[in-house]
Amino acid sequence: MFRDDFVWGVAASAYQIEGRDPDDGAGATIWDRFIAEGHTPDGYDGSVACDHMHRFREDYALMKQLSIKAYRFSVSWSRLIPDGKGKVNEKAVKLYRDMILSMKENGIEPFLTMYHWELPQALQDEGGWLNDDIVEWFGDYARVIAENFSDICENFITLNEPQCFVGIGYLSGWQAPGNKLPYKETFRIAHNALKAHGKAVINLRKYSSRPVRIGYAPTCGMAYPASNDPEDIEMARKVLFGFYNPMDNWTWNVAWFSDPVILGHYPEEGLKKFAEYLPEITGEDMELIHQPLDFMGQNIYNGYLIAKGDNGEPDFVKRPIGSPKTGCGWPVTPDCLYWGIKMLYDRYRLPFYITENGMSCHDDISLDGKVHDPNRINFLDLYISALQKAVDEGVDVRGYFLWSFLDNMEWDKGYTEKFGIIHVDFETQKRTVKDSAYWYKKVIETNGKVLSINQKPRQVLFLEPVFKEVIWGGNRLKTDWGYDIPSEKTGEFWNASAHKNGVSVVRDGYYKGRKLDELFEECPELFGNMTEDGKKKYDRFPLLVKIIDAQDDLSIQVHPDDEYALKNENGSLGKEECWYILDASEGSSVVLGHNAKSRSELESMISEGRWNELIREIPVKKGDFIRIKPGTVHAIKGGVMLAEIQQNSDITYRLYDYDRLSDGKPRELHVNKCLDVITVPEPETDNVIKNAAEGEKNALVELTDHDRFTVWKITVDNEFSFTQDKDFMTMTVIDGNGIVNGSVVKKGDGFILPCGIGNITLEGQMTIIAASPK
């Protein structure tokens, strides 16, 4: 869990939200000229944006209402010092002091970012970051910040995302000032930016009226391992801090921008790779850059998968087809936050803040007047849960800043992207709280307890089938059910099993890839496996659900009860089961019971091989439901296909197998154990078989209810809804197709409705066999 004083905040930047006023005294930024030259798709600039400079009080009151504890904002350098150096704009001083004081009045802790890409145009005209004098200009700007705001603001961040403002401002030219400079000049710009950072740290501490906390907020895509294999993990680490990008994207690099700041030196690999482009780097430069920091910020949005390739080099693993993306096309990769922050902390060992994380969505006001953004809620939950996982494993993370509070001017994209948890009508400036803001409020108020990592999402658990090849099996699981079976002797598929002989795996969703036995142990709340006094109801997953295709006769067999199995089968459960006949060829039958009147007669019939006298064979047809108690002699005969619901046991005592061979040898028999457990005399079978082919539609029609489990048949005709209030329910679609809570299902699909999932809606034309333990 997150520490009690964890900082839950939101983030924004000045140009993107503040707007301008004709009399505000602000100077022009590089963005004013860049946009005036036509570099945004919608042609709109930041002259109004969210009009935050006039509406900050109501915006901070709204933050308070939403329980937000901290706000990472930026000061516009050209607003505070219109020419970037020299005269200070007192109107800007008053504006930012009023903003900070208003934040504090609303219980919001300010985190002031000095530079969020807004270089004064006057300085750009003098060369901007390419001019070595910018180190002193930025240092003097830090002095002005410290002298005017340190008495009311304790937390300062020097630079935001130097990888971006260097790379896409001066290398690719996608963003302001739109330059495409030679590599050598971009390295000088990057070096000057890091020296300016160091000078700012010195002056913030020197001129502040009290001790302050200072950090730095770089960014980058996070390399993360394609698996938990140690070799993949180490290869991902190597790539994260390495130099694998082409030269036209060289700035998209972690180590080049963080090692000098935190460790005091440029990485050796980079010095060698970039040698021909580097400016003179002196010991004094490195001493200036390497100033003590109180915390490290990191902006993390997405990442990329890395594995160790066969040649020992990194394999940049392609994302699965159809992988999710945000509204602006960025990949959704929550694991990158877990791995990224772990690896960053391992290397730099400073307290961390996630200074930006969020997503752009295609959200707008719906007909009900609200803004529903479930994709953003899902994104944030997955990412913040990944962050908590890292925290739980010892990473020192002090806070999280969601990007962003308001929909805003998204730089070169204009107003085409919406990152906010507050919708802004830019014509009227009306704010509308999105669903994600209310969700984030709950996260803050519970310090993360409502996150899925702590609550375990209740969603339908769709399971991959486990196929079993047997001597009596056939191919109908392929021809009738559409499965890709392993052979023409496939007799069973287990579609809800946590048994060691065939464990189901969750097919998709939040728990994708999890084995059912492990999930049952690690997430008992999904299976109602926890009593009020904290004890477990079940010592193992209690059910096993199968579909059986008997092309030939199964052996005549019997199952033990729990007491006998516990004593004689290494603690296994016994096996009580029931069958629902899915199909039966004309004249089909099953073995159910025996005719021996005494145990001595039973022994005699078995030893003399008088099988026809011993067994009771009864005809069956489609729709018959049969209960098989422990101690009952039974066998499925050829031509029968059925669904079997049983205790979680694979114990079968074979009494007779028709003298057939498997791999040239007779299969093992268990006659002595059979004699131990067979019930003598056999009860009448009249009350253990009934036909359930017809029945009420759109209802849970109970087929059996006994000590171990309850079984129902559900015939869905158009739509049926019910509340799942059992510990859990297994479901198998035995005919037709339809929809389960929005997910499309077909004949043969098996799934589990976990405890607490609530309302279930079944739609379509289909028949389901359901079961729940007791």
Kindly report, residue by residue over 281-302, the tens digit of the pLDDT. 999 999 999 999 999 999 999 9
What pLDDT band is residue 409 in, cutting at 50, 70 and 90?
Answer: very high
Average per-residue pLDDT for the chain: 96
Question: Is residue 756 within 8 Å of residue 458, measured between CB atoms?
Answer: yes
CA-to-CA dists, residue 753 to 369, 381, 521, 702, 730, angstroms: 33, 22, 17, 17, 6
* Band (772; pLDDT cuts 50, 70, 90): very high
Task: Using pLDDT thresholds of 50, 70 and 90, give the confidence band for residue 685.
Answer: low
pLDDT of residue 456: 87
> Looking at the predicted structure, is the pLDDT value of residue 220 above 70?
yes
Per the CB < 8 A criterion, the answer to whether 559 and 490 are in contact is no
Q: How confident is the model at residue 532 (pLDDT cuts 50, 70, 90)?
A: confident
**Residue 155: strand, helix, or coil:** strand
Structure tokens at 53: 């400079």
Give the residue-averaged pLDDT of 585-601.
Answer: 96
Mean pLDDT for the stretch of residues 474-494:
96
Q: Phi and psi for 331 in degrees, rounded to 5? A: -70, 145
Tokens of 221: 């895509």
Sign of CA dihedral 66, 372, 334, 293: negative
The yes-or-no verdict on residue 508 having pLDDT over 70 is yes
- Return d(Cα 8, Cα 448) in angstroms, integer: 10
Beta-sheet strands, E only, within 535-603: 543-550, 556-558, 577-584, 589-594
pTM: 0.88
The Cα-based distances of 21 to 60, 200, 248, 287, 708 in angstroms read 20, 28, 39, 41, 74
Average pLDDT over residues 501-508: 97
* Cis-peptide into 404, omega within 30 deg: yes
Catalytically active residues, by annotation = 161, 356
Q: Which two tokens stand for residue 543?
A: 């059910």
Burial 85-117 (b: 16+ CB within 10 A, else e): beeebeebbebbeebbebbeebebbbbbbbbbb
Q: Which residues contact 755 (CB under 8 A, 6 or more apart)?
A: 458, 525, 526, 527, 528, 724, 726, 727, 728
Distant-in-sequence, close-in-space partners of 638: CB < 8 Å, separation ≥ 6:
472, 550, 551, 552, 553
At 144 the three-state DSSP class reads helix
The yes-or-no verdict on residue 727 having pLDDT over 90 is yes
Locate 95 and state its tokens: 């504006």
- The answer, yes or no, to whether residue 318 has pLDDT greater than 90, is yes
Tokens of 185: 């000049």
Residue 177: is the preceding peptide bond cis (ω within 30°)?
A: yes
pLDDT for res 160: 98
Terminal-to-terminal C-alpha distance of the chain: 34
* CA-based torsion, 679, 683, 686, 688: positive or negative: negative
Task: Please state the rounded mean pLDDT for residues 334-347.
Answer: 98
Alpha-carbon gap, residue 565 to 560, rounded angstroms = 6
Q: What is residue 707's predicted lDDT score, i.e. its pLDDT?
A: 84
Cα dist. 306→223, 239, 248, 512 in Å? 6, 8, 21, 20
pLDDT tens digits, residue range 232-248?
999 999 999 999 999 99
* pLDDT for position 663: 84
In percent, the amount of the chain with pLDDT more than 70 equals 100
Instruction: Kindly provide the residue ranges of all beta strands, DSSP E only, lying in 551-672, ordered along the sequence.
Output: 556-558, 577-584, 589-594, 615-619, 624-628, 634-636, 640-647, 653-656, 661-662, 665-666
Instruction: Tell me the pLDDT tens digit for each residue of 534-548.
Output: 888 999 999 999 999
- Count other C-beta atoms under 10 Å from residue 443's C-beta: 21
Side chain identity at residue 285, one-letter code:
D
Within 10 Å of residue 349's Cβ, how many Cβ atoms?
12
Token pair 């509070």 is found at: 405
Worst-scoring range by mean pLDDT, 213-227, 381-395, 677-691?
677-691
Closest among 308, 150, 291 to 225, alpha carbons compared:
308
Beta carbons of 528 and 628 less than 8 angstroms apart: no
Say if CB 516 and CB 750 are below 8 A apart. no
Rounded to the nearest 10 degrees, the angle between the axes of helix 134-149 and helix 183-207 is 30
Residue 25 in this model has a pLDDT that exceeds 90:
yes
Half-sphere exposure of 617 toward its Cβ, with a 13 Å CA cutoff? 12
> Length of the chain, please?
774
Q: What's the pLDDT band for 684 if we cut at 50, 70, 90?
A: confident
DSSP 8-state code for residue 615: E
Categorize the per-residue pLDDT at 661 as very low, low, confident or very high, splitting at 50, 70 and 90.
confident
pLDDT of residue 70: 98
CA dist 415 and 438 (Å) reads 23
- Convert the pLDDT of each residue in 245-286 to its tens digit: 999 999 999 999 999 999 999 999 999 999 999 999 999 999
Contacts of 187 by beta carbon, 8 Å cutoff, 6+ apart:
274, 277, 278, 279
Query: How many whole angstroms separate alpha carbon 76 and alpha carbon 28?
Result: 10
pLDDT class for 664, splitting at 50, 70, 90? Answer: confident
- Least confident interval from 41-55, 56-70, 250-264, 290-304: 41-55
Query: Among residues of the chain, what percentage have pLDDT more than 90?
Result: 95
User: Are 771 and 545 spatial neighbours (Cβ–Cβ below 8 Å)?
Assistant: yes
